[in-house]
Each structure stands twice: as C-alpha cells, then as structure tokens.
Amino acid sequence: MSLVNYLVLSAILFSVGATTVLLRRNAIIVFMGVELMLNASNLALVTFSRMHGNLTGQVLAFFVMVVAAAEVVVGLAVIIAIFRTRKSASVDDVNLLKS
Amino acid sequence: MHTLTAIAAALPTGVPAATIGPAGDTDLVGAGVFLVAPLLIGVPLLSAAILLVLGRRTDRWGHWLGVLASAASFVAAAVAFFALLGRPSDQRVIDVNLGDWIDAGGFVLHAGIRVDPLSMTFVLLVTFVGSLIHVYSVAYMEHDTDRRRFFAYLNLFVAAMLTLVLANSYLLLFFGWEGVGLASYLLIGFWNHNTPYAVAAKKAFVANRVGDVGLVIALGLMFAHFGGVDFRTVLSAKPDQGVATAIGLMLLLAACGKSAQFPLQSWLGDAMAGPTPVSALIHAATMVTAGVYLIVRSAPIFDAAPDAQLVVVIVGAITLLFGAIVGCAKDDIKKALAASTMSQIGYMVLAAGLGPIGYAFAIFHLVTHGFFKAGMFLGAGSVMHGMDDQVDMRHFGGLGRYMKITYFTFMAGWLAILGIPPFSGFFSKDKIIEAAFVPQDGQDWRAWVFGGVALIGAGITAFYMSRLFFMTFEGQKRWSTRRDGTDQHPHEAPALMTWPMIVLAVGSVLCGLVLSLGGRFVDWLEPVTGHVEEHDAVLPTWALPVLTLAAVIVGLVLAWRRYAVSTVPVVPPVGTLLTRAARVDLYQDSVNNGLLVEPGKHLTRSLVYADRAGVDGTVVGVSRLPVGLGELTRKIQTGFVRSYAASMLVGLVVLVAVVLAVQS
C-alpha cells in the first residue's frame, strides 16, 4: 500500500477538522475539530518520517501531542469558565472583541 | 534713583522752532521751588491709590481726601506759577529732570517735567476748576453709594491730565494722554449697571483709540526722523515739509479723537452719560481741550507744514459749524451743552491752525471756555438736582424763579459764551474771529471763508445757547411729574454746589477782561507761542466786533421770540429736514455705522468663514482620514471566532500557495 494514501487520509482528516472549526457553533465540537486537525498533522508527520527514513517527524509528533494535551487543559478550562458566565457553550456568544 | 536736577533752558523770545537750543546750551539754575512740580502729579495719584486700595474702609472720609488732594495740587501749582512769574520772561521754560526713563543703547529718554507758561496755564486751569468740581461733587454725589470710587477716578483724572500737560517728551505726554482716556472711560461708565451708559463709555474709549493711533504713528515718525521724542529734540529740529506734514496730520488725528473734532466727534454727545461733574471737568473744561494743547505745543512742526495747518483750520471750521447746528436741535440740556463744547473747541482748533497769530488766542479761549462751560455744566447739574434728574428741556421752563443762584450763575456763563462785552467770551472769541479774517500766505479767500464760518458760528452759538437758556429758565412751566409720580418741586442746590458755581460765574465774567488787559495773557504765552506782529484783516478793525455782535444779537433775538415769548411745545415738532438731521447728530452715527462698523462686521464674518472653511477644514479633514479608514476596517472585526479562524486558514493557504509558486 502506497504511503501517499496516508497523506491523503491526513489531508481529509485536516479538512474535516478545519470545516468543523469553521462551521460548528458549539465550543466543545469546535475543540474536537481542533484536535482532529492536530492529529491529522501528526499522521502526516509520521508518514513523512517513514518516507524519509529518519525519526525527526515522529519526534515532532510527540511534541505536538504534548502541546495538544496542554492546550486541551487550558482550552477546556476556558470553555467551562465561559459556560459559567454566559450559560452557553456557543462560540457566537463570545464576541466581546466585536467593534 | 537719580537726584532731582533741574535744567533751565535759557530761551530767547521769538519763534519757538528757532529758539529752543540744543541740550548743551542750558544753564543749570537751581531747581528750587520748581521741585514742587512732581508733587502736582503725585498727590492726586497717591490719593486715588489710597481710595482704590483701601476701598470701602474710606467711604466715610474718602471724598474729602479727594478734595484735599486736588486742592493741594492747586496750591502747589500756584506756588510754581508765582515762582515762574518772578522770572524774566526769557527764562520761563524750565525742564525738571526726574531721572532716566528709557535707556536703550543709543536711545536715552529722561522722564521730566516741563514748566513753562503754556503748561502752567493748563495746570492752573485743571487744578482750579478741578478743585471746584471736586467740592461740587461732594454734594452732587452725596446719595451715591460709590461716591468714594468716584473721587478716586476724579483724582486719577487730575493726575493723568497734569502728566499730559507737564510732560517734557511726547512719550510721557502719551502716557498722560492714555491716562485721561482711561479716567474718562471709567467716569462715563460710572453708572455702568445701566447698559447704554456702559456702551457710551466703550464708544468714547474706541473713538479715542482711533485718535491714539495717530499719536503713536507721530511718535514713530519723530523717532525715525529726529532720533528722539522729547520736546527739546523734536521742537528744535527743522523738519522738511513732507515730514512735518505727516507728523502734523497724525497729531491732528490724535487731537480729533481726544477733542471730539470732525470726523471723530460722535463720542462726546454720548459721553454725557457720565455724572454731570464729570461732564463739566473732563468733557468741557479740560480733557477735551488736550487736542488744542497738543497742536499748540507742537507749534514748530505745524509752522513747518502749511498743508497740515490748512487741514487743521478746515477741521476746526467744520466742527464749529457741525457742533453749532447739532446744538440747535438737541432737547437734552447736557447734550446741547456737549454740542456747544464741540463747537467751541472747533474755534480753538481753528485758531491753532492759523499759526502763530492764533496759538495764544486758542489757549485764551480755552481758558475762558473752561470757566464758563464748566460753570454752565455745573448749573445744568444743579437743575437736574432740583428737577429729579430730568434732562429734557421741553419739560423745564420758568426755573429762573425757583433757583436764583443757578439762574444768575448760568446767565453769566451764557452771556460769556455769547461774547457779550464785557463778559470773558467777548475777549477770547472775538480775537479768534479777528485772526480768522487775517489772510494767510496772501490768500484772501481763506480769510473770507474761515472768517465767515467763524462769524456765522458766533450767530448760531448765540441762537442755540439762548434757546437752551430760555427753554430752561424762562417761559412757562412745562414740568412733568417726578419719577415716583408726585409733582416737581424745583429747589436750589446746597451751598457746596452753589459756591463752585458762583466762583466759576465770577471767572466767566472777569477772566477775559483781566487777562486781556494790556495783552498780558498773550505776553505771558510768548515764550511758547512766539512773538507775533500785528496783521491786517481783510475787514477794517472796527467792523469785526460790530459784525460779530450783530450776528450774536440776531441769534439772541430769534431765540427770544421762539423760546421765551411764544409757547414751547412739550412734544418736539417734526421740524425741518435739517432739524431732524441735527437731532441725530447729522447722521454721524449712521455714517460711522455704514462706513466702518458694517464693513468691519462683514470682514469679520468673512474671516471667520475663511478660518472655519480653510484652516479648520484642512485640520479637520486630515483628522477625518484615519477615522474613515478605521470605520472601513473595523467591519472586519466581527467578534466571531470562526471568522478569525477562517481568515487564518485563508491566510495560511495563500502563504503556502505563494511559497509553492515561488519554489517551483
């Protein structure tokens, strides 16, 4: 099986994740989209690692996982804080930056 | 502080321009008694300062302090006068140096006082009449809560007026000139809670500023051409005719402003808003004559500029007719007197413009006028005092029986201004008319024109002054009710008011005769005005007094028939075109309004518009640019997280596309 298929899968997953982030309103779902994009990129990194025959890509994938874990912690905390004050998890209700 | 030194200038008799020597050839005669001269100014100034600084605490005795200061000034003036009289007539010009005033590189100006016959004449007039009017004001202003402030201003005026006449340089004169302007402004607007009065004060101030511009320009010209502004430098310089004409015309402008001469005369009538003693002192006897003083003082300049002299004579002639015509139509007793003042100063200016033959007579008429006009103004004040501040002569009539002293003192002033012999006006005004009939530069037409105007003016003067006198003191009673609705009860004024009037009346009767006996007043002024040979008039010597007297009697009889014998209507008749014009000062205010005020307003409006559209527009336009840009760009900031995410994504895709495109 060609390695290119992994890259195609990665691209599809990234697109699904990006579309989720752009289109969905629920903050939790948006968050899941972000995770999907991160994992799509991880898949691409691992594939490239295999293609080039070195471990750089895999190491980078671990870094991404660590950062993603930290990001989840912070992100979920933010979402819960917003939910407590606004009684809503919709990202459209968080628009204080609107001019 | 420099020690006081006095420099007496040895001054030979003759034409002043040629005789005031350079600063070098002065002999240092001890100043002696002339050191009182600074006190003349200092005492009233100190009194004014005390009254103004201590304020209400001096309310109980402040007015007497004012009287005392003025009287002290008069005593000092008398001392200096007799000391001056004791000197030979060629040593009667004395400069008392008070120290350096301005010391700027090549320009050094000493503050100093000039004691000479001309300045002493003014000083005596100002302090004597001033003291009498101070006394009068004590009673006249008795019920005014601000009497103390009134006296402070009067003292300030006396100090400023004495500075004006005693200065030995044009700059110090200018200082006094502005000082009297300030005092006049403060006193015209003394009752400034009354808006028209405050406006009248402002009008006087502005009209005077127009004249002051002339004086400032004259100062600049003197400095530029003679390198100094003190009398010694300026009056001994021999300017060429162009420079002398320019300076002369600028000095004339200044004189017109201060002395209410055409075309700057419109403020004097409104200045009657001030309390009557102010009208008597400032707007009849002293301040308004400062213009005449300025012209006579600057005699050498005018002598070098025949064109400027001709303009002076023309201005004087126009004003004397103008004032006389206006005086015939005014029903307000004070405004009629103001028009008369204007007209009489026109005579003085005319005389001053005639050159050396007229200078002494201008000052002579100024002195006699100071007496009789101040006396009549005080009389008008006494009438107002007895008639509940009524000023409309159509509501007077028959008052002579109720206020005997006012009646007789006013009569003395009236006969004096008419020029009935032997009252003082006869001696002074006739001399001016005679001088006006002397041909200048061999031009007979000038003698006929100006002499004729002066003669006709005398007739009109007789008419309007008699009208004023008859309407007030003779004929039937046309009294209205008092302001509280009760009937009028005219009564004589208290002694403090009547005595100054009596003294001035005696002066009106006698001072012309006494001063002209043996030509002693003319001789007295000779060190300043120069010696003049007799000139022949275009008419024989006997004819002029006869003609003048005839004109006066015609005017008097006309007034008698119209205002004493027949009934004077209480409501003013419509009158002829001239009467209607004269009632509104021959449309002077409308002319000023149309010629100066309205164009000024338009100019201001256009300037304001240009400022808003041009200058403000540019600045505001520049500031609007970033604001508009912000308006446009802020629409991008929707506040939706996904739109930010989308822009990030799009940006990233574009970035990648560019990188790929560049690499391949």
CB B91 within 8 A of CB B10: yes
Alpha helices in B271-305 (DSSP H): 276-280, 290-297, 299-303
Is residue B10 pLDDT above 50, yes or no?
A: no
Distance of alpha carbon B333 from alpha carbon B387, whole angstroms: 12
B100-105 CB contacts, 8 Å cutoff, 24+ apart: B100/B2, B101/B171, B101/B172, B102/B171
Name the minimum distance, in Å, from the CA of B618 to any CA of chain A.
Answer: 28
Residue A2: CB partners within 8 Å, gap ≥ 6?
Answer: none
The helix, strand and coil proportions of chain A, stated in percent and rounded to the nearest 5, come to 80, 0, 15
Name the minimum distance, in Å, from the CA of A22 to any CA of chain B.
Answer: 5
pLDDT of residue A1: 67
Lowest mean pLDDT among A3-17, A62-76, B1-15, B287-301: B1-15
Name the residue of chain A whose CA is nearest to B638's CA.
Answer: A98
Cis omega before residue B263 (within 30°)? yes
Q: What number is the average pLDDT over the span B313-321?
A: 93
pLDDT of residue A35: 93
Asked if A87 is an interface residue toward chain B (Cβ–Cβ < 8 A), one would say no
Is residue B232 pLDDT above 80, yes or no?
A: yes
Instruction: Give me the interface pTM, i.e. the ipTM.
Output: 0.80
pLDDT of residue B13: 33
Question: Taking CB atoms and an 8 Å limit, are A22 and B649 in contact across chains?
Answer: yes
Q: What number is the average pLDDT over the span B62-71?
A: 92
pLDDT of residue B2: 41
CB B3 within 8 A of CB B98: no
pLDDT tens per residue, range B126-174: 999 999 999 999 999 888 888 899 999 999 999 999 999 999 899 999 9
Question: Taking CB atoms and an 8 Å limit, are A94 and B645 in contact across chains?
Answer: no
Residue A95: CB partners within 8 Å, gap ≥ 6?
Answer: B638, B639, B640
- In percent, the amount of chain B with pLDDT more than 90 equals 43
Tokens representing B301 are 């300049």
Question: Taking CB atoms and an 8 Å limit, are B638 and A91 in contact across chains?
Answer: no
* Beta bridge partners of residue B95, listed in sequence order: B7, B114
Question: Taking CB atoms and an 8 Å limit, are B640 and A92 in contact across chains?
Answer: yes
Question: Residue B215's closest CA among B262, B266, B181?
Answer: B181
Distance of alpha carbon B303 from alpha carbon B253, whole angstroms: 17
- What is the helix (H) or strand (E) element at residue B81, kind and residue range? helix B62-85
Strands B107-115, B5-9: pairing is unpaired
Name the minimum distance, in Å, from the CA of A39 to any CA of chain B.
Answer: 17
Mean pLDDT of chain B: 86
Residue with tokens 């700027």: B104
pLDDT tens per residue, range B16-36: 332 333 343 343 444 567 778
Name the residue of chain B whose CA is nearest to A14's CA.
Answer: B649
Is residue B7 pLDDT above 50, yes or no?
A: no
Q: What number is the average pLDDT over the span A61-87?
A: 91
CB B344 within 8 A of CB B260: no
Tokens representing A99 are 């001019």
Q: Using pLDDT thresholds of 50, 70 and 90, give the confidence band for residue B15.
A: very low
Distance of alpha carbon B181 from alpha carbon B160, whole angstroms: 9
Cis omega before residue B422 (within 30°)? yes
Longest dimension (CA), chain A: 52
Q: What number is the average pLDDT over the span B356-376?
A: 91
pLDDT of residue B31: 58
Asked if B642 is an interface residue toward chain A (Cβ–Cβ < 8 A), one would say yes
pLDDT of residue A97: 66
Q: Using pLDDT thresholds of 50, 70 and 90, give the confidence band for residue B215.
A: very high
pLDDT tens per residue, range B89-100: 778 888 888 888
Question: Taking CB atoms and an 8 Å limit, are A18 and B634 in contact across chains?
Answer: no
Q: Using pLDDT thresholds of 50, 70 and 90, give the confidence band for residue A99.
A: low
Asked if A94 is an interface residue toward chain B (Cβ–Cβ < 8 A), one would say yes
Distance of alpha carbon B15 from alpha carbon B593, whole angstroms: 43
Q: What number is the average pLDDT over the span B308-320?
A: 92
Is residue B227 pLDDT above 90, yes or no?
A: no
Q: What number is the average pLDDT over the span B192-197?
A: 89
pLDDT tens per residue, range B36-52: 888 889 999 999 999 99
pLDDT of residue B610: 92
Question: Residue B569's closest CA among B316, B397, B349, B361?
Answer: B397
Question: Taking CB atoms and an 8 Å limit, are B634 and A92 in contact across chains?
Answer: no
Residue B445: CB partners within 8 Å, gap ≥ 6?
Answer: none
pLDDT tens per residue, range B608-657: 999 999 999 999 999 999 999 988 888 877 777 778 888 898 999 999 99
- DSSP strands (E only) in B25-167: 93-104, 107-115
pLDDT of residue B537: 75
* Out of A23, A30, A96, closest to residue B639 by CB: A96
pLDDT of residue B14: 34
Distance of alpha carbon B492 from alpha carbon B473, whole angstroms: 13
Name the residue of chain A whose CA is nearest to B632's CA.
Answer: A99
How big is the A-B interface in CB pairs under 8 Å? Answer: 30
